[in-house]
Amino acid sequence: MASTQLKRISKEEVGKHNQPDDLWIIIDAVVYDLTKFKAMHPGGLSVLLDPEIAGQDATEAFFSLHRYEVLERPQYQRLRIGQIDGEKPSIHGRIAGELSKVPYAEPTWLSDGYHSPYFSEGHRTFQKAVRRFFDEVVYHDAQDREADGKRPSQSVIDKMTALNMHAMRMGPGKHLQGRILMDGLVTPETFDYFHELIITQEFARSSLRGYGDGLLGGKVIGLPPVLNFGSEELKAKIVPEVLDGKKFICLAISEAQAGSDVMGLQTTAVKSEDGKEWIINGSKKWITNGTFADYFTVGCKTEDGFTVILVERGPGVETKQIKTSYSTTAGTAYITFDNARAPIGNTLGEEGGGIFVILSNFNHERWVMCCASARSQRGIIEECLKWTTQRKVFGKPLHSQAVIRSKLAGMISRAESKCPKLAREHHVSDVQYGCGQDTARDAVQVFGGRGITQTGMGKFIEHYHRTIPFDALLGGAEDVLADLGVRQALRAMPRDVRL
Ligand code: HEM
């Protein structure tokens, strides 16, 4: 906190202002005049008039009840009237662009004393720039939009476009050609999956679940079928406007009666009499970004089986908001197609070959989800380590309790055992999500009532706990995929082995 301009005041002087009509306190060497504020204090008046608080150094009491960000709010900065003579503020919250010094808060490759052969100096420079961008541009919009439920601000989308972030979020590939990435920090030819991992993980760290999906999560899963299976003509029209944040696309597969069993979809597409258009009828449910999408990558039942078709918003396409357990920022939609039309040229892949399009698309989606899931767990560990250090129980930090340390150990071991493997092998493991759910449950226990409260100290824990089940559903339910893994392993069992 910048404090050089503040008047110097002695502790003795502060001590004289300890009455309701003249109330000062000290937090981290800064003197606050709470005389007028006390009646508006969300925590009430009496706590401020306590003889150990009024006119005293209330630093420890303050940080066991408030996040640092409370002090950063402009309305509370105005309460500062001075600084203790001979002392300096030493406590800080999140510093934009900086790595956290809290153990396990950062991926191993970014932690002091570790070296990874997989990340180069170029990746480190890139990470620094991406973090600064997310801290400065995305973090506050994420908080505000989660609160008001509106779409991510177009100004954030435009700033991401300027760095070609939307294009980079699609991973390496031809779509990057001719684009200047992150102000030239990496070339389209050298951009690799570790760069993409960095973006996904910084995104997960700075953002919130609904907002993260709202900030063009639909494009991350809806555009690959166009990139990989669309005609050159279709790509030339769609890809630039989507990657430049001017038009929005979503993936419309799941239906009220079909989820992981994609072959059970009931939306139909039949050809018009002249054979030039698809006519689409049916509905889709839980479609991320659907409420504001201009394009829909739609899974349809066709004469030959299952076909994926790009549909543009127009007559016969209606979208409405679904209320989910995260914010409406994600634009999660129920979509109806009522004789909606799309040119035959909008077919993605072969007619009847839709399952191949969808299955190949899942790979990138699950890779992104794993990167994000692993990173979010570290964010929760950081919250828990900070909380258990600053929260005092029975006169000692919360982490002096062995049961609490045991929960921390579980969270840390889950994050540590999965992340390096993920980064090393691009290993797509649905176990990630199970780990996240265990960590969410432990974190709530550590935070107590605050872990289920949407504001204040535990707000990120509450949010994580409320939204983590999504990770086990998206991209195919984790139970279905885990079972697939076991069945594949069983198929590979040698016939001649015995115990
Ligand atoms: C500059 C001084 C202070 C400011 C600006 C301030 C502001 C706030 C705010 C904004 C909240 C709502 C917390 C949230 O939901 O995010 C709050 C809650 C609270 N504050 Fe303060 N506060 C100050 C000092 C103090 C002090 C010195 C105490 C003394 C112990 C205190 C005790 C509390 C309590 C008990 C709550 C309720 C916490 C809860 O619901 O968990 N506050 N305060």
Residue 65 CA: nearest ligand 1 atom is: 38
Burial of 208 (0-12, 13-18, 19+ CB in 10 A): buried
Question: How remote is the CA of residue 80 from the centroid of ligand 1, in Å?
Answer: 15
pLDDT at 309 over 80: yes
Spacing, Cα 48 to ligand 1 middle (Å): 9
Cα within 13 Å of Cα(281), Cβ side: 5
- CA–CA separation, 252 and 331 (whole Å): 13
For each of the domains in the chain, give its residue range(s) and CATH number, in order of start: 7-84 (3.10.120.10), 108-206 (1.10.540), 246-351 (2.40.110.10), 362-492 (1.20.140.10)
The residue whose C-alpha atom lies closest to atom 7 belonging to ligand 1 is 41
Q: Give the residue with greater pLDDT, 207 vs 148.
A: 148
User: From ligand 1's centre to the CA of 85, what distance in Å?
Assistant: 25
pLDDT digits (tens, 9 = 90+) for 145-161: 988 989 999 999 999 99
**3-state percent helix, strand, coil for the chain, nearest multiple of 5:** 50, 15, 35
CB 297 within 8 A of CB 284: no
Q: List the one residue out of 361, 365, 354, 364 whose CA is nearest residue 263.
A: 354
Burial of 178 (C-beta count, 10 Å sphere; 0-12/13-18/19+): exposed
Mutate to test the pocket of ligand 1, among 18, 70, 77, 78 (most ligand atoms within 8 A of CB): 70
Which residue minimizes the CA distance to atom 9 of ligand 1? 42
Using pLDDT thresholds of 50, 70 and 90, give the confidence band for residue 471: confident
Q: What are φ and ψ of residue 6, in 5° steps?
A: -75, 145
pLDDT for the residue 429? 44
Q: What is the largest CA-CA distance in the chain?
A: 90
CA–centroid distance, residue 104 to ligand 1 (Å): 29
Q: Whose CA is nearest to atom 1 of ligand 1?
A: 32
- Tell me: pLDDT of 1 over 50: no
Distance 10 CA to ligand 1 centre (A): 24
Residue 469 confidence (pLDDT): 86
Crossing angle of helices 431-447/402-425, nearest 10°?
Answer: 150
pLDDT tens digits for range 10-68: 999 999 999 999 999 999 999 999 999 999 999 999 999 999 999 999 999 999 999 99
Confidence tier at 191 by pLDDT (50, 70, 90): very high
**Which residue has its alpha carbon closest to ligand 1 atom 24?**
62
Report the range of poorest mean pLDDT among 107-121, 142-156, 252-266.
Answer: 252-266
The mean pLDDT value of the chain amounts to 92
65 C-alpha vs ligand 1 centroid, how far in Å? 6
Nearest to 215 by CA among 157, 172, 278: 157
* Pocket, ligand 1, Cβ cutoff 6 A: 25, 27, 32, 34, 41-43, 47-48, 53, 58, 61-62, 65-66, 70, 76, 79, 455-456
Task: Please identify, by atom number, the ligand 1 atom nearest to the C-alpha of residue 457.
Answer: 16
Distance between CA atoms of residues 404 and 445, nearest Å: 9
Looking at residues 331-346, what average pLDDT do you find?
97
Mean pLDDT on 346-368: 91
Given a cut of 60, whether residue 237 has pLDDT beyond it is: yes
Q: What is the pLDDT of residue 430?
A: 42
CA of 42 to the centre of ligand 1 (A): 6
Q: What percent of the chain has pLDDT over 70?
A: 96
pLDDT at 3 over 60: no
By most ligand atoms within 8 Å of CB, the mutation choice from 14, 36, 65, 390 for ligand 1 is: 65
pLDDT at 244 over 90: yes
Q: Rounded to two decimals, what is the model's pTM? A: 0.90
What pLDDT, on a 0 to 100 scale, did the predictor assign at position 4?
56
Alpha carbon of 89 to ligand 1 centroid (Å): 19
19-33 pLDDT, tens digit per residue, is: 999 999 999 999 999
Secondary structure of residue 112 in the 3-state scheme: coil
Rounded distance from Cα 47 to ligand 1 centre (Å): 9
Report the atom number in ligand 1 closest to the C-alpha of 73. Answer: 5
What is the predicted ipTM?
0.96
CA 66 / ligand 1 centre spacing (Å)? 6
pLDDT digits (tens, 9 = 90+) for 268-295: 999 999 999 999 999 999 999 999 999 9
Question: What is the tens place of the pLDDT at every residue in 409-445?
Answer: 999 999 887 544 444 333 344 445 568 899 999 999 9
